[in-house]
Amino acid sequence: MNDGKAATMLTDAQEGRTNGRTSGRVVLEARELRKVYGSGGAQLTILAGVNLQLAEGEMVAIVAPSGAGKSTLLHLLAALDTPTSGTVYFDAKPIDGRADAALAEFRNRAVGFVWQRHHLLPDFTAAENVALPLLLRGTPLGQALETARGWLKEAAVLLADEPTGDLDEQNAVAVFELIERLHRTHRLTSLIATHNAALAGRCDRVVGLEQGVLKLRSVGLTKGGTALGGEKS
Ligand SMILES: Nc1ncnc2c1ncn2[C@@H]1O[C@H](COP(=O)(O)OP(=O)(O)O)[C@@H](O)[C@H]1O
Ligand SMILES: [Mg+2]
C-alpha cells in the first residue's frame, strides 16, 4: 500500500496536465477516504485512504475490476453513504458537517447519480433517473435529453456508475456520448466508473482503484492524434 504516492501522482496530474478546459477550481474532493466493512477479525477494507480532486468541468473515468470499490467510492462522493473515516468536500466545504437539510439539498440538487443498471428502482423520481435510464427504457432521445436537462440544470456533479455496463458496443457508445453531451452543455464535473477502456480513454483523465487506493492510469490521452481537449471544445 502506498497511499502517499497515489495522492502525489494525482496532484501532479491535476496541477500540470489538465487540458485547459477546466477552471482548476476543485468542485469535489475526497481526502483520505476509508471504507471498512465488518468488525473485529472480519474487517474488510474496501477504500484505504482515497484522495481525489475533481476540477470544475473535468470528466474523469474510474476503471477497476468488479469488487474494487468503485460503487462504494461513488456512493461516498454522493453522500449516499458515510465513510469510516476521511472527508468529502463539495465546493471546499465538508459535506459531513452539513445539517440534514443542507445534506438533502446536496444530494438532490448538486449531485446527479446514474446508477448501475441493476440498481435502478421503479419508484425513483424522474430526477434520479436522468436521461440514461430513460433511454434504456425506450424513451426517444430528444425527450430523454429534455428530462435530463431539466434536472441537470440544478446539478454540478455527475456521478455515473457503469452507465454502459450492460449495453452492446453500439448502445454503449450512444449512451456515453449522451453523457459527454450533458457534461459539456451543463459544464458538469463528472466521474464515470466504467469497464470500457475505449470510452474511458475519451475522458480527460483515467484513474484506477488498486488495493483500495486510487492510482493514476493515464493522463492526456489522445484520440486520432488530436489532444482530447482540443477535439471536444
Ligand atoms: N454493505 C457491504 N457489506 C460488506 N461488504 C460490502 C458491502 N458493500 C460492498 N461490499 C464489498 O465491497 C467490495 C467493493 O464493492 P463495490 O464498491 O460494489 O465494487 P465495484 O463497484 O468496484 O464492483 C466488494 O468486495 C463488495 O462485496
Ligand atoms: Mg459497482
Q: What is the CATH number of the domain that holds 172?
A: 3.40.50.300
Ligand 2 ion: Cβ-proximal residues, 5 Å cutoff = 70-71
Report if residue 157 sits inside a domain: yes
Ligand 2 centroid–CA 147 distance in Å is 25
User: Hey, what's the cell of 198?
Assistant: 475505449
Q: pLDDT exceeding 70 applies to what percent of the chain?
A: 67
How high is the pLDDT of residue 225? 30
Angle at which helices 169-185 and 141-152 pack, to 10 degrees? 40
- Burial of 32: CB neighbours in 10 Å, binned 0-12, 13-18, 19+: middle
Report if residue 30 sits inside a domain: yes
Nearest residue to 194 (alpha-carbon basis) of 65, 95, 105, 85: 65
Report if residue 230 sits inside a domain: no
Report if residue 149 sits inside a domain: yes
Report if residue 226 sits inside a domain: no
Name every protein residue with a CB atom under 6 angstroms from any ligand 1 atom.
37, 44, 46, 64, 66-72
Tell me which residue range forms the domain holding 17. 3-221
Instruction: Decide if pLDDT at 180 tops 60.
Output: yes
When divided into structural domains, the chain yields a total of 1
How high is the pLDDT of residue 199? 93
From 45, 50, 66, 72, mutation site for ligand 1 pocket: most ligand atoms within 8 A of C-beta = 72
Report if residue 187 sits inside a domain: yes
- For the segment 89-115, the average pLDDT, to the nearest whole number, is 82
Least confident of 168-172, 177-181, 215-219: 215-219
- Burial of 138: CB neighbours in 10 Å, binned 0-12, 13-18, 19+: exposed
**Residues 50, 125: Cα–Cα separation, whole Å:** 31
Give the closest ligand to the alpha carbon of residue 115.
2
Reported as a single tens digit per residue, the pLDDT across 56-77 is 999 999 999 899 999 999 999 9
Instruction: Decide if pLDDT at 9 tops 70.
Output: no
How high is the pLDDT of residue 151? 63
Report if residue 159 sits inside a domain: yes
**Residues 37, 93: Cα–Cα separation, whole Å:** 26
What confidence tier does 145 reach under pLDDT thresholds 50, 70, 90? low
Report if residue 199 sits inside a domain: yes
- For the segment 92-121, the average pLDDT, to the nearest whole number, is 74
